A = this chain, B = another copy of it.
């Protein structure tokens, strides 16, 4: 054990939620130190401390909002450091921590497992440690394959193999972790007519945003000897369905809201890919194949809504989460119809989960509203621009209408807080202020749905 006993004892007095927050803060400080290293920057480049912190927090929360242009600012070393922080943020500080503990041969106790559980919003105790290992394994495998494919494909775009594979490497990390940073200087706009690159990025973004439990269940299904017996959990079904619906509705919506503006004179496949990619990226990706500020204001409002929902729980994304949104919608429809108990996929949903979903949604709306209201009092930007930036931070998406670098320090601090809350989850954040642990939280007999 590296740590002194007194520290170890102090940690044990904290609730799991506080430990997670404690580690997130440590990770944020660590990331800030990494991004403060002079070797991370190109010669002659100077960056304000607030922008260093902002970049570190944005990377750790895999948001991708940036007050600097990575391509002009960071050295190759800096790019690798940024990729490392993204990776750290995506897997989750706790998962990494457990993995290290595993490597050190330390037996994982109840408290540590519970801790991971809260971080990844997992409600089933069994297989927690195995899950972490699987997360890392699946992630690295996918990243390695994508890196090879993308890097090799990029040989036709870049003059040297080194440059091509660097872009392949960072592009892969940025897409899979849903980091949304870019080293091209203009996101995926250079590939706006390359449907192969876009399609691969869509797959990678979905991979990062759909939630690790889904990936694990799909993997188990694919490698199972008897597929007929494989059981997909209610959580996987609900989150995947919601995710698919959101992408579909998002694509249609983005297209329709600009059919008379941005998409005028564009071919059907161009319009389709622009709409599809931008819909997918609002789940949490943050990369874009166009300058989103060129879309209509209605579309900015619509995309803010999509970003607010965000990704699936236990994924690299943020926001209120797909399941929260789904349960809130189901709850409202059922309630309006006068029904009492709510059933989906032949399972009854826990009332407490519904309450959670509705609470999270309302709190998040309130938080976004207050943030926008406050920021508009002193920033010279339109309410829509600010709403877009705020929901992008809360959903850890990273899309921007291009105002991030011009924001004041106060706004940057607000956005960092939103990224943090969006990534950690609004309930985890709130439970930080709670003294007594809620008993019986993981002991319900019915099947549970995890809420952002």
- Closest B residue by C-beta to A301: B373
Q: Which of B297, B305, B382, B431 contacts A338 (CB 8 A)?
A: B431
Are the CB atoms of B338 and A355 closer together than 8 Å?
no
- What per-residue 1/0 map shows which CB atoms of A424-452 lie under 8 Å from chain B? 00000011011010100000000000000
Tell which of A356, A373, A382 has the most Cβ of chain B within 10 Å: A373
Are the CB atoms of A297 and B361 closer together than 8 Å?
no
Q: Is A272 an interface residue (CB 8 A)?
A: no
Report copies per complex: 2
Q: Which of A317-359 contact B (CB under 8 A)?
A: 328, 331-332, 335-338, 355-356, 358-359
Give CA–CA (A195, B211) in the complex, Å: 60
Give CA–CA (A433, B431) in the complex, Å: 39
Are the CB atoms of A298 and B436 closer together than 8 Å?
no
Q: Which of A21-29, A117-125, A127-135, A362-370 contacts B (4 or more CB under 8 A)?
A: A362-370
Are the CB atoms of B332 and A363 closer together than 8 Å?
yes
- Closest B residue by C-beta to A372: B301
Chain A binding site: helix, strand, loop or mixed by DSSP? helix
Give CA–CA (A377, B260) in the complex, Å: 10
Q: Is A384 an interface residue (CB 8 A)?
A: yes
Given the known interface contacts A383-B383, A431-B338, A433-B336, the answer about A301 and B362 at a Cβ–Cβ threshold of 8 Å is no
Q: Is A76 an interface residue (CB 8 A)?
A: no
Q: Is A36 an interface residue (CB 8 A)?
A: no
Give CA–CA (A302, B383) in the complex, Å: 12
Given the known interface contacts A331-B359, A383-B384, the answer about A377 and B305 at a Cβ–Cβ threshold of 8 Å is no
A377 to chain B, nearest CB (A): 5
A113 to chain B, nearest CB (A): 22
Q: Which of B297, B336, B376 contacts A297 (CB 8 A)?
A: B376
Tell which of A305, A383, A433 has the most Cβ of chain B within 10 Å: A383
Are the CB atoms of B302 and A338 closer together than 8 Å?
no
Are the CB atoms of B355 and A335 closer together than 8 Å?
yes
Give CA–CA (A430, B301) in the complex, Å: 26
Q: Is A292 an interface residue (CB 8 A)?
A: no
A52 to chain B, nearest CB (A): 30
Residues of B within 8 Å of A302, CB to CB, are 373
Q: Is A257 an interface residue (CB 8 A)?
A: yes
Q: Is A73 an interface residue (CB 8 A)?
A: no
Q: Is A75 an interface residue (CB 8 A)?
A: no
Given the known interface contacts A305-B369, A355-B335, A436-B338, the answer about A328 and B362 at a Cβ–Cβ threshold of 8 Å is yes
Q: Is A293 an interface residue (CB 8 A)?
A: no
- Closest B residue by C-beta to A377: B298
Give CA–CA (A96, B331) in the complex, Å: 36
Are the CB atoms of B337 and A434 closer together than 8 Å?
yes
Q: List 6 A-B contacts (CB under 8 A).
A: A298-B377, A301-B373, A336-B363, A337-B434, A338-B431, A338-B434
Closest 3 CB pairs of A and B: A336-B430, A298-B376, A298-B377
